[in-house]
Amino acid sequence: MYAADGSVRPPYAGVAKWLAGVNPEQLERRRLEAELFYRRGGVTFAVYGDNQGEERIIPFDIIPRILSSTEWTKLSKGLEQRVRALNMYLADIYGKQTIVKAGIVPEDLVWRNPAFRPEMAGVAVPHGVYVHIAGIDIVRIDNDDFYVLEDNAAHAVGCVVHARRP
């Protein structure tokens, strides 16, 4: 919402004005209402490896992230490219496995991954689209640039790919 110099970024001007007139109790009440809505609607996830198996709500912020059209144009091109790359990765893993044979991805990372479905080896999916839903977590690092924190993708073979950037 704020630039490095402390000024309000232009896309947030309306939100900043609104926030200046809202008391903290009202914001907290809205946050609790949103959390309840998420729980009732099943907008939850489980943490793999968590022995408690507790469903958690998708993290959210009551204050929206706002991007200018210029920022979104730049980001959307990169995000679309990432999803194409994820599809190409899965096509290779379930196809020729060139990336494994070349030693780029250790085979243990593939074979021992509980999401890997060996029965899908050699199966061509329609239009080469494995990834149907992708959640790509981004963070703003300065006024012009964003980094990807991780990719979360549900794909056609019924499992989830979760990749963290090193």
Q: Check pLDDT > 50 for residue 159.
A: no
What pLDDT does residue 144 have? 85
Q: Decide which of 46, 66, 86 is a domain's last residue.
A: 66
Residues 127 and 60 in one domain: no
- For 95-129, how does the pLDDT look when each residue is reduced to its tens digit (9 = 90+)? 999 999 999 999 999 999 888 889 989 988 899 89
Q: Which domain holds residue 111?
A: 68-166
- Work out how many domains the chain is built from and give that number: 2
Q: Are residues 102 and 114 in the same domain?
A: yes
The burial class, CB within 10 Å (0-12 / 13-18 / 19+), for 154 is middle
Last residue of a domain, one of 39, 66, 93: 66
pLDDT at 158: 45
Q: What is the pLDDT of residue 160?
A: 44
pLDDT band at 4, cuts 50/70/90?
confident
Mark residue 34 as left, alpha or beta (left: phi above 0; alpha: psi -120 to 50; beta: remaining): alpha
Instruction: Give phi and psi for 164, each to the nearest 5.
Output: -100, 140
Percent of the chain with pLDDT over 70: 89
Q: What is the pLDDT of residues 22-42, one digit of tens each?
A: 999 999 999 999 999 988 888
Query: Does residue 73 surpass a pLDDT of 60?
Result: yes
